[in-house]
Chain A
Amino acid sequence: MADSHTFDAKGHNPDTDGSLPPEGSELEAHLQSKHMVINMGPSHPATHGTVRLKVELDGETIVKIDPEIGFLHRGFQKSCENVTWTQCLPYTDRLNYLSAMMNNFGFLNAVEKLIGLEIPERAQYIRVIGSELHRLTDHLTCVGATGLEMGGFAPFLYGMEARELLQDRVTELTGARLTTSFGRVGGINRDLPEGWADKVHKTLTRTEELLVEMDGLLTRNRIFVDRTKNTGVISAEDAIDYGWTGPALRACGIDHDLRKAHPYWVYERFNFSVAVGEHGDNYDRYLVRMEEMRQSISIIRQALETIPAGPIIVDDWRIALPPKPEVYGTIEGVMAHFKLVMEGIQVPPGECYDATEASNGELGWYLVSDGRGRPYKVHVRAPGFPVLAAVPHIIEGKMLADLIPTFDTINMIGGEVEQ
């Protein structure tokens, strides 16, 4: 690289004794280096999971990159095809371990579509609250980790504090921090705990404070802005062609959110706006996530204020377990319980495609049932899969250092990408 400021007009090097560099010296020669192939991952702190990136470098410029995935492949689909519909639920947790509830509810929603089931209103509210709580934790982790890998440890810690508080609320609701397995076909398996709403309100207030801290530490931080602005740029057309959805697509300026486009559950009752970026770079993806968190907080508050009383699961013993007094006191209850536990829900034969807006985009499910009580086919359209597929397109020809923020802000989750 011939830096123009190193030599003055006469060719004197101001840093040395002033003598002219010899004609055709090494300093002026074009440095031809051999391309170097390096491995990033499978276990690299910045790969967030186990993905191996084979990177071919010319100096610091990425010539070619080949993401090699599959290290976390667990046979999700094959496992689901061999268990009952309810038993699939724990497998869906592990798709996106940062926002397990969204995967639970997305899967259940698709199964309910296939059965043709309308779930009680209160259950729909609880699903909205749970989903938005987990959207917060997912985005907090993503934004915090982005800050961390750009060299700022404090925003990560603030994010983790908020995330821990939210995880505590999730634990009180579902009984588990990460792998929630929450909800059942036909509704929700446990109601909101006593006094939980007040705790959530307090947590959300604290989360808002912490978001202000993170915003102050990152949004106008020179180092952070330099590393993220105009890096990892993708145009809206390319993003659509690759099948991007969610915050990464919205950062390109496309106003598309399934919660608005095809409202499911009770989303159309809440007042919230969709954050849309402009440039499709890392900085916009960060900003979109920050704004989505504020909107999620507002949705949870509205939902907690307006949640109606009532049943949380359908009253149909072919779908939902009967209440325990019925199981212990009546023969019908025992039979229904036994049949459901041993044979599972008899989902009628048929197929359907259904999608919900998960934290990283459209989480689609294509389910086929043959009527034997087990899924015949469970196809999951993981939002991270097309996003990761576009990384070579974004990053080839750019600097190696740009790969880190790009990989952070697309928020690829190994569990769902590698099934």
Chain B
Amino acid sequence: MTPPFWAPYKAADSSPSVIGSPLSTFALDRVSAHFPEAVVERYVDRAGGAWAVIHPDSLPKVAAFLKNDAELEFKLFGSIDGVDRLHLAENDPRFEVVYFLYSFKRHEHVRLKVRVSEHQPVIPSLVPLYRGANWWERLTFDFYGIRFEGHPDLRRILLYDEFQGHPLRKDYALRDRQPLIPERPIKDIFRGPGTSGHS
């Protein structure tokens, strides 16, 4: 056995930027053709997945096109999450929100990305289009503080309302502590006859 010796220690230095076989770019090509002004950037990630960076204002119409176009039909809602690019080389604008949709017709995922700045972290909501977006947008709001305009019920989902800050932002320390909060006043429920509850 000849062990691969240690010369290229950082795999990053020598490996090509795309290693997977590129996946289909059909859907994003159609988006680019229909909304050339909406697509900020196109690229292929390391595993061959095609990405499109969408202008925030154009997101609803691009998503509606992906969902309703007869040749695409990206109807299955995948997920949403944020990325805080604070410590990355390229970090302006600071936040990225990623969207994954799936099409039964084309049997593939589509990967979309929207970039928003720290000062104006607002993106139009996709809830009118996909009901599945509801909780994912709440999750992204909860952990990154990105607001989704037009969301019917944008409040925290996993953390409690009194939580201060957004813990997945890179400037939130791993062992940061939250202040103790007083017990919430509870609107009493009907207790019925008897001595239960009040002595």
Contacts and interface: CB of A to CB of B under 8 A. Distances in A.
A294 interface: no
Contact of B132 (A243, A326, A354): A243
Nearest to A393: B131
Contacts of A326: 3
Nearest to B138: A389
Interface string B14-47: 0101011000000000000000000000000111
Contacts of A370: 87-88
A155 B19 CA distance: 49
Interface in A34-71: 36-37, 69-70
Given A241-B130, A243-B77, A256-B104, A354 B47 contact: yes
Contact of B81 (A36, A70, A75, A379): A379
Please report whether the interface of chain B is mostly helix, strand, loop or mixed according to DSSP: loop
A318 B11 contact: yes
A316 B9 CA distance: 12
B98 interface: yes
Contact of A78 (B17, B135, B136, B167): B167
Interface string B45-57: 1110100000000
Given A82-B174, A355-B109, 6 more contacts: A241-B75, A351-B45, A368-B83, A386-B77, A386-B79, A386-B135
B168 interface: yes
Scoring B130, B157, B174, B190 by chain A CB atoms within 10 A of each residue's CB, the highest score goes to: B157
Interface residues of A, number: 62
A376 B87 contact: yes
Given A379-B81, A381-B78, A114 B46 contact: yes
B64 to A, nearest CB: 13
A243 B76 contact: yes
A366 B111 CA distance: 10
Given A352-B46, A353-B109, A366 B4 contact: no
B132 A389 contact: yes
Contacts of A315: 1, 3-4
Interface string B87-127: 11000000000101010100101010000000000000000
Interface stretch (A95-103, A342-350, A396-404): A342-350
Given A322-B3, A350-B45, A364-B100, A261 B107 contact: yes
B3 A317 contact: yes
A256 B132 CA distance: 18
